[in-house]
Amino acid sequence: MAGAGGRSWRDLLAGRARKRKSPFGSEAELQGAALRLLDQHQNLADLLLEVGDSAKPGVQDGAEHQGVSPESFIVSVLQDQASKLGVPTATLAAKNAVANMERICQDSASPSRVPLLNSDQRKRLSCLLQTVKDLLANNMFCRSLFCQELWKMKEPPVLEAVWHLHSRDITGLAELLERSPAGPAAVEWLCSSLCDLCEQVGDIPCGDNELAQCLLSDFAIVFLQNGFEQASELGRKVEFQKVAYICRAVLQRMLAWVLDAVGKEKQEDVSMVRAVRFWLKVFNVSLYGSVAHPDSLRQFFRHTLTEVLTYNPVLKVSDAIQMQKEWSFTRTCPLLTALFRKLLVAFSVKESICQLQQILETHEVNWQHVLSCVSTLVVCQAEAEQLFKDLLSHLLLKAFGNYDMENMITAFLIARQAALEGPAVFMPYSEWFKASFGNAGGQHGSSKKSLVFLFEFLSELVPFEAAPYLKVHIMYPPFVPTKHRALLLEYITLAKTRLADLKVAIEDMGLYEDLSATDEAVQPQAQALRDVEKALQIFENTRKIPTSVIEASIFRRPYYTSWFLPALLRPRVLPKTPDGHMAFIDSLKRADKIPSNLYSTYLQACHAMKEKVLQDDSKAEPSHSKEPLEQLKAELAELRTLIVDQAQWEDVAAQTAVVSDRLRGVLGDSSEENEAAPSNSPIQVAVPAPRLAPCHQRVVDLLLTSFCQTLLAASSFNPPARQGPCLSLVVKMMCGHRNLLPALLGRLCQLIYHQGPSLSAAHVLGLAAFVIHLSECRASIPGVEASFGVSQAVPGKALSVSEYWSSLLVCRTEESFAFCLRFCTAAAAYLMCKFSSCSREDFCALIPPGLIKKLQHLVPRLSLEARGALSEEPKTALSWSSLSCPSLNYRRASLCLWKQAGFQELLKEKAFQLSFREWLLMELEVCPEKDILSASERQDFHYWAIYQRYLPAPSAAGGCDGDLEKACGVIINAILDSSQRLDLGGCGHSKMSVSPEILCRLQELVLELRCRPKLIPGCPAAQRHFLFEILQGRLTGSQHGSALGEQLWRQQELLLHRRILVGLPASTLITSCWKGNKTVLDCDNFFCFVNSELKNVCSRGYALSYDITAHFFRGLLSASLDCEDAAEGVNEALTTCQTKCPVVLLSAALWWPRLEPVLCCQWKRLFGAPLAEELDRLRGWHGSSTRFLCSGAVFPVSDPPWLSAAFLHGAILQQSPRGRGREALERLGTGTEQLLVALLFFSLLDLISARIAPKEGVDFQTSLEWSLEILRCLEERGTSWPLLFRSAERDPGKCRVLHSAASDRHTRLLPLAFYSLTPCFHRELLQRDPTFLSVALQMYIQLLQLFVEGEVVPQSDQDSTEQDPLELISAARQFLLGAIPHCPAQSFGNIQLLLSTCEELDPELGATLLHFSRPAVDMELEEELELF
């Protein structure tokens, strides 16, 4: 009740109290006076609103002074009025309160019903509720009647008013709903009010927004507590069951309201989206805290999930098959994904999938919601992938067990839906289909009935299938036993018919088509352009035509000729310098894979286009929209915000899926992942010059930049250990884009290998962390075939991604050492901080071994302190945050990391121990002149590593067990492996060079090995020579691809062997042992190695190079010091050499002018006695040869004649001109025929050498003329020489020694030399030597075989004096055709074994041989038959 001027009752009382003293002597008098006044001016409704703050000063000074409270007046008034009306006071108070509430709720300026009060209404309601609370405190208010009266209002109360009643404990919402006369009406009121509230949220002030959230939260708790009561509460009275019904009904209606909004095709109504998002707060688990029982909460969420998945199940399975590509995570309505993400928080992933499985088995479902739920699970839950695989296996097992189509279709839909989210979260559909049905172990392979069931199911899918899935089924068909192939062929025919209806021909399928793609089938023209781009990328990395292109040109000719070639040969302006595209076209042209007319048309069109461009200088450049890249950039920025804020981590998985979708859009159709090839096909990376398309480089740079920025931003708030799995999820998403991986790995190569030393600290930290996460995802990344340039003889094995980036960290120069130390320290620090909470086993599985091994090489090398035993662990561990400090000393930081106990524990793990061999390979990569260490520092480091670290260490720890031979073997193998390894472009060292410092350490070890007792001949230790055993072991069982690759590798390997042998002490080649009571020299191991291997790398064919020849003789002289009689030891060794290794003596003959002074000087220095007899004989032969040529002295023929011939041949080579040699031949006396044959042999080998090694200084024409001179001399003497060309196996006679001394290649090429001598082949030779024809035929057959095998082919830089191989073959053929008719009958007796081969290789020549080889009787009979 208001007084004058609208003042309240309390104000009036307070004012009067201040003006004068109360005339009433007691409280009773005062109360009586008030009642009389109220009785005359009574308004009970207004009286209930008259409540205020009891703390007001006026009241304290006035009424309270008399001990009278305003509430007591109201109670008195109510009691008085109730007595007059004859009703209880509490009843009267309740009815008047309802009347007040109705008036307050109706006094709204808004014409429409709103769920919230305005400020004036809120103030008046607050006063009323305060009074009601006072009445409740005095037991003067009836709650139940109040609730009943509320439902009798003309209009339902405003929702906020009800919330105030609930929140102030006047009457709870549950109590109010309990008193509702009609449950449906209450449901309708609540739902409409709640919808109005949600829709109004965006248009109200901030304070009202907070109030609305509190209202929604409180009501949601009531709905949950009463709608999903526990089993113990189910027996409550009927009224409370009504409350439960209303609460569940409201939640059901509101959920339907949400799902209806989700189901709309277009979400253009922003206010509706905002309203639904507001209601979704009901599903925040954190909202309920401890006020709701956990089981009730799970029941509520389980019920809601069921309702969502079964809501409005109108879509058929056929609809789902056709539409599911639109239901992927990024295409699904965000409201629905938000709802799923909130609901699934209440369960573990396993529980969620079990719930999904149960719903699928017991309900009709909404396939759109079910499959969207699947997408949400696989995207947002990392564990979901394996659980879904298990579910799919279970569904297939049940399907084939009961031949149940429902389980079958469910499995296929789930597999396809999960695959839609990309390989980062689930295997591609093609892989799942292959794994499930591609082998005999699949469920379908148990019986024919199972096969029939599978193909019936697949056939029923065909009318609704999209082209990509049909292609998967055709390209990777189910395994079918041969006897049931008809079932498969019938299905394939049906599938191809469907593809034809879709206007997609399987024949037009691209070479690199993505069979897991879910978009509509790409047109052949577009797919062909992609194939060309992919093929070009492979070609530029390997310089070989891709296998897929070769196969397509043969087995898929229609697609190759109709689509691929036109896409490849699109006219363009050709560059001045041929690019990769042109090189690819030329390679195809040379391989006859491009028709000549098509190639000519292409060149003409390119020329025409060039003319057109010259005429039109204003040719417009194509514009490329940057919009997709900008979208990706924006989404990455949003992702960075979420990762940095720990409170938003739950949204990271969803945002990562959005980024993945944007990334797919940026990459577009220009480069699809290769699904047609095996999914694990290696990624090609050209390390010297990685090729990246500009568009791909922009994308990769954006991704790497974003990763680095995100890492640094997150690290500024939390260390890596507290950054969660967000970054791992992001990198895993990148790895899921297979078509991006080549560019990503290529860019890493550019940054780490090429630009590493110039990277800033932030770049190093970011890239170091990135490669750690990349290694974490190694299971999803195919192997990497890193091509290191043209020096690579054969391709290396595919590397894992960890091995790949470790191989890019090459330490050669001062700058690269500093960078590698920074990078490895940062990577190891991040690794140890990020995954410190993992179990020991999981932690070790995450660590790239190459990283720890690289640090084991770097840290002791650069820090003396790390070489000794560690005194104590540093007081403070190396922190991740300290690495970003600009003033950081990385040597100190790496040492700090090295000293940490955790790191030292890692070094004890066998997988991470740096072995002696690995250490050597790293050290051999260093460029001494550019090393970060000085020469003396490097020497100290080598001594420490070899003698203190590895030599005494057990083999289990990568050491040598103190075994010097083992240490030498490791060093030799490491040197050879390092030299054979690819030249990573570093220091300009020749591949044939050997590190002098490591070689010095090897020499020291070898010399130390010689300090041991002599052995007894025949004992196992004496029979083996560790050095040759090592070298021989490397050559046996080697496999290096093709025959040519093996040949090149072997040749290079042997040249390196020779370099090592020459670098070791000369006496190493020979061992000394006891024989009887004297010391003998044992050269057998060296002789064996020379005969089997070393002679095959000598370019002269019959002589070793000077360096190894001189080394052996110097070693022989040095080793003879161990003998009691040095001369006798040398003589015995050289005598043995004549029979066991004649090539050594032939080498001495060739190089004697250079060798003699060296040996004489050494002998004199060692012994001071006359030269050993055998050495003196060698000197005598050389002197006799020189005198014979120069002064005309008689040439003494001695035994063996081939050695005299070798010295004479060597002397002739020194003479100029050759005329003196011709004169000398004529002066040779009788009995020198064998000498002349040997001389011819050496000359012919020179002829071959001139052809295969023209740079060795041997002239082809000179050698040919000299050979012809010797042959004429032999002919004049009537000496038989053709046996010289018979193999040593067939003719173990006098020429055996010569053949044994020749290299294998020179022996194979003897036919080339033989037919170079045809000018000297006269008819008399045919008559005189019956073996000539068989030798000539054998040489001809071998010549043809050499040409077929590519041993003799025309050379582009061939000397004009040399005969072309084709001309030589033609001349040989003509010679034989002309010679055969003139050969005597006995000549044909030796050709029967050659006849069949000859007929096969040259039918005409074979027929001629057959004709003339018949007996004379047959010839006469044939002549008689010709008469008829």
DSSP secondary structure letters along 710-775:
HHHHHHTTS-GGGSTTHHHHHHHHHHH-GGGHHHHHHHHIIIIIISGGG--HHHHHHHHHHHHHHH
Amino acid, single-letter form, for residue 511:
L
Q: How many helices (H) and strands (E) does the chain have?
A: 68, 4
Q: Tell me, what's the pLDDT at 648?
A: 86
Place 1020 in a pLDDT band, splitting at 50, 70 and 90.
Answer: low
Ranking 698-712, 1102-1116, 1366-1380 by mean pLDDT, the lowest is 1366-1380
Q: Is 397 left (phi over 0), alpha (psi -120 to 50) or beta?
A: alpha
- pLDDT for residue 221 is more than 80: yes
Mean pLDDT computed over 404-428: 91
Q: What percent of the chain has pLDDT over 90?
A: 32
Place of tokens 């041993």: 1351
Q: Tell me, what's the pLDDT at 1319?
A: 79
- pLDDT for residue 728 is more than 60: yes
Q: Find the angle CA(140)-CA(145)-CA(149) to the nearest 5 degrees.
A: 125
- pLDDT for residue 330 is more than 70: yes
Mean pLDDT computed over 1172-1187: 91
Give me the count of residues in the chain: 1428
Helix 694-715 to helix 652-667 angle, to the nearest 10 degrees? Answer: 160
Q: Tell me, what's the pLDDT at 571?
A: 83
- pLDDT for residue 13 is more than 70: no
Q: What is the mean pLDDT of the chain?
A: 82
- pLDDT for residue 108 is more than 70: no
Ranking 551-565, 768-782, 927-941, 961-975 by mean pLDDT, the lowest is 551-565
- pLDDT for residue 54 is more than 70: no
Beta-carbon neighbour count of residue 621 at 10 Å?
5
Half-sphere exposure of 1336 (CA within 13 A, CB side): 29
Torsion, Cα of 326, 331, 333, 337 (10° steps): 110
pLDDT in tens, 606-626: 888 777 666 654 433 344 445
Q: What percent of the chain has pLDDT over 70?
A: 83
Residues 1407, 1146: Cα–Cα separation, whole Å: 44
Asked if the peptide bond before residue 682 counts as cis, ω within 30 degrees of 0, the response is no
- Could you give the 3-state DSSP secondary structure of residue 685? strand
Q: Find the angle CA(227)-CA(229)-CA(235) to the nearest 5 degrees.
A: 110
Residues 6+ apart with CB under 8 A from 1419: none
95: β partners: none
Q: Which of 129, 196, 128, 185 is nearest to 159 (CA)?
A: 196
Phi, psi of 1242 (to 5 degrees): -65, -40
Q: Tell me, what's the pLDDT at 1217?
A: 54
Q: Tell me, what's the pLDDT at 242?
A: 86
Q: Tell me, what's the pLDDT at 1160?
A: 94
Q: Which of 34-48, 446-460, 1291-1305 has the highest mean pLDDT?
A: 446-460
Q: Tell me, what's the pLDDT at 947?
A: 94
Place 507 in a pLDDT band, splitting at 50, 70 and 90.
Answer: low
For residue 725, give both structure tokens. Answer: 């799995």
Helix 367-380 to helix 349-362 angle, to the nearest 10 degrees? Answer: 170
Asked if the peptide bond before residue 571 counts as cis, ω within 30 degrees of 0, the response is no
- pLDDT for residue 693 is more than 70: yes
Residues 674, 1381: Cα–Cα separation, whole Å: 64
- Distances from the Cα of 636 to the Cα of 627, 661, 666, 1066, angstroms: 14, 12, 13, 66
- Could you give the 3-state DSSP secondary structure of residue 355? helix
- pLDDT for residue 936 is more than 90: yes
Mean pLDDT computed over 523-539: 75
Residues 1253, 718: Cα–Cα separation, whole Å: 67
Say if residues 1405 and 1376 touch (Cβ distance below 8 Å): yes
Ranking 394-403, 1076-1085, 1348-1357 by mean pLDDT, the lowest is 1348-1357
Of 89 and 418, the one with more pLDDT: 418
- pLDDT for residue 367 is more than 70: yes
Q: Which of 1218, 1226, 1266 is nearest to 1243 (CA)?
A: 1266
Phi, psi of 685 (to 5 degrees): -135, 125
Place 1428 in a pLDDT band, splitting at 50, 70 and 90.
Answer: very low
Strand 784-787 with 1071-1075, pairing: unpaired
Mean pLDDT computed over 459-484: 88
For residue 662, give both structure tokens. Answer: 């944007």
Place 268 in a pLDDT band, splitting at 50, 70 and 90.
Answer: low
Place of tokens 């030292």: 904
- pLDDT for residue 36 is more than 70: no
Q: Which of 1328, 1311, 1334, 1327 is nearest to 1392 (CA)?
A: 1334
pLDDT in tens, 1194-1249: 888 778 889 999 999 988 888 755 555 677 787 887 778 888 999 999 999 998 88
Beta-carbon neighbour count of residue 377 at 10 Å?
26
Residues 193, 156: Cα–Cα separation, whole Å: 10
Residues 125, 49: Cα–Cα separation, whole Å: 8
- pLDDT for residue 38 is more than 50: no
- pLDDT for residue 1351 is more than 80: no
Beta-carbon neighbour count of residue 59 at 10 Å?
21
pTM over 0.85: no
pLDDT in tens, 156-211: 888 999 999 998 888 888 888 888 888 899 999 999 999 999 988 877 887 788 89
Q: Tell me, what's the pLDDT at 258?
A: 93
Q: Is 375 left (phi over 0), alpha (psi -120 to 50) or beta?
A: alpha
- pLDDT for residue 546 is more than 80: yes
Which own/partner contact pairs does 1215-1218 have at CB distance under 8 Å and 24+ positions apart? 1215/1189, 1218/1262, 1218/1265, 1218/1266, 1218/1269
For residue 735, give both structure tokens. Answer: 């790895």
Phi, psi of 1125 (to 5 degrees): -125, 100
Q: Find the angle CA(1386)-CA(1389)-CA(1395) to the nearest 5 degrees.
A: 135
- pLDDT for residue 793 is more than 60: no
Q: Which of 554-558, 795-799, 835-839 has the highest mean pLDDT?
A: 835-839
Place 1293 in a pLDDT band, splitting at 50, 70 and 90.
Answer: low
pLDDT in tens, 733-779: 998 888 889 899 999 999 999 999 999 888 999 999 999 999 998 88
Determine the distance from the C-alpha atom of residue 926 to the mean position of all C-alpha atoms in its chain, rounded to a whole number. 28
pLDDT in tens, 1386-1426: 888 778 778 888 888 888 888 888 888 776 334 434 444 34
Q: Which of 582, 604, 656 is nearest to 329 (CA)?
A: 656
Place of tokens 């070898």: 1006
Phi, psi of 1360 (to 5 degrees): -65, -25
Q: Tell me, what's the pLDDT at 1215?
A: 73
For residue 1341, give both structure tokens. Answer: 């057959």
